[in-house]
Structure 1
Amino acid sequence: MYTADSTAWAEAFGVHHGFVDRALQQRLRRLQDMEEELRALYAAFRDAPDDELLLSIRSATRSMTQAVECLQIAIRQISRGSA
């Protein structure tokens, strides 16, 4: 479910309506950084003898990638709504 309701986003982050884009961009950068860290962790553990650990890290990476994509879509929708 995606929403372009910038008022709801402003309330969710506790920012003024005019700062929603900045708040979303900051959080997007944080998510992207975390995604990159997860990828680095996976690479570091790639040869570990624990398959469950590797599957968990891969799953977390996929989930983080989805979160990044969802936030990017929300940002685009809000941008279109305010244009």
Structure 2
Amino acid sequence: MYAADSAAWADAFGVHHSFLDRALQQRLRRLQDMEEELRSLYNAFKNAPDDELLLSIRSATRSMAQSVECLQIAIRQTSRGSA
């Protein structure tokens, strides 16, 4: 990742560059917790008679999983950039 990208991430979270990894890791844990919560909700509603609700929750779960993956990639890239 380019230094400018790391700076942009640090700017986005309002942290000094030296605290970027910690800030990204905290956000990753929050996203992972939300992903787990969505999975839990899907399981709680899986027998509900509302197909649209189930599709929406399943779609949200997939989107959250993709968000987790994207942030993990960003963390790897910023780690390589600062090494």
| Counterparts of 1:40 and 1:79, CA distance in 2 | 32
Number of paired residues? 81
Instruction: Calculate percent identity across the aligned residue pairs.
Output: 84
Please tell me the residue identity of whatever aligns with 2:54. L
> Who is 2:76 aligned against?
76
Give the TM-score taking structure 1 as reference length. Answer: 0.95
Show structure 1 runs of 4+ deviating over 6 A. none
Please tell me the residue identity of whatever aligns with 1:47. N
Contiguous gaps of at least 5 residues in structure 2: none
| Counterparts of 1:10 and 1:69, CA distance in 2 | 19
Q: Deviations over 1:26-81 (max 9, x none)?
A: 00000000000000000000000000000000000000000000000000000011
| Counterparts of 2:41 and 2:16, CA distance in 1 | 36
* RMSD over aligned Cα atoms: 0.9
